[in-house]
């Protein structure tokens, strides 16, 4: 089983912010399209390390994680099996990600 760990602040951007590319290079869309979705297609499991930044916006998290279902065609079941994420200090960030994935699953026919 192959696992890929992605550190948002080290592998992507030290200050992730915004939803779309036009919001800046650290957007949720850029993170999803450039790192997360390709890793989920290539590896058996992917772990997202959210440590090092405490101010993730809901728009960033929704576009990055909810967008995996809305835009990339993953199902919630696939993400439950393949994707993990953690922030050691701010657990509400993890809760927001879970909420955004569940909301996307409810809103999309491919969400399971």
Task: Give domain limits for the chain.
Answer: 3-107
pTM of the predicted model, to two decimals?
Answer: 0.95
Please report which residue ranges of the chain form alpha helices under DSSP H. Answer: 28-31, 37-42, 58-61, 67-70, 76-82, 91-107
Contacts of 104 (CB under 8 A, 6+ apart): 62, 65, 66, 67, 68, 69, 70, 76, 111
Strand 83-86 with 3-7, pairing: unpaired
Give strand pairing partners of 86.
49
Euclidean distance between CA atoms 90 and 94, whole angstroms: 8
Euclidean distance between CA atoms 87 and 19, whole angstroms: 20
Q: Could you report the per-residue pLDDT of 53-65, keeping only the tens digit for each? A: 999 999 999 999 9
Q: Could you report the per-residue pLDDT of 81-102, keeping only the tens digit for each? A: 999 999 999 999 999 999 999 9
Q: Could you report the per-residue pLDDT of 10-32, keeping only the tens digit for each? A: 999 999 999 999 999 999 999 99
Length of the chain: 112
């Amino acid at each position: 089983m192959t696992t890929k760990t992605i550190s948002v602040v080290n592998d992507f951007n030290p200050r992730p912010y915004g939803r779309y590319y036009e919001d800046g290079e650290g957007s949720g869309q850029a993170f999803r399209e450039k790192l997360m979705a390709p890793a989920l297609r290539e590896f058996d499991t992917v772990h997202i390390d959210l440590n090092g930044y405490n101010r993730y916006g809901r728009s960033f998290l929704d576009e990055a994680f909810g967008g995996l279902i809305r835009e990339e065609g993953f199902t919630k079941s696939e993400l439950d099996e393949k994707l993990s994420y953690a922030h050691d200090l701010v657990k509400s960030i993890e809760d927001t990600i879970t909420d955004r994935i569940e909301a996307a699953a409810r809103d999309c026919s491919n969400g399971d």
